[in-house]
Amino acid sequence: MQKQFKDLTEREILALAIFKNEEEDGRIYGEFADALRESYPATADMFEEMREEEVGHRDRLFDQFRERFGEHIPLIRRENVKGFLHRKPLWLVRPLG
């Protein structure tokens, strides 16, 4: 059953931010960096820096989560939240080869 974003707990919001925003964005930037490295190394470096920044965001949010709520992060997905942004999988946006 889907929840309204306004009905999520702080714990659920942080869990979404950690795994569905920061983690996923970092992976997307890493994929772009890998795909561009050979032909556009400077642009690939920029995407790699963005990936590293997202890893730092994720780690800080995870530390905050641990301090406030402990080790267990609830499993919550975008599809569990009504009206949450849905992204096409990266392989549908650009070929990975």
| Span 10-32, pLDDT tens digits | 998 888 888 777 778 888 899 99
For residue 84, pLDDT beyond 90: no
Q: How far apart are CA 73 and CA 15, in angstroms?
A: 6
Q: Give the percent of the chain with pLDDT over 70.
A: 85
Could you tell me which of 9, 17, 22, 49 has the C-alpha nearest to residue 33?
A: 49
| Residue that the structure tokens 């561009």 belong to | 36
Return the amino acid letter for 53: E
User: How many other CB atoms are there within 10 angstroms of residue 90's CB atom?
Assistant: 15
At 95, the pLDDT band (50, 70, 90 cuts) reads low
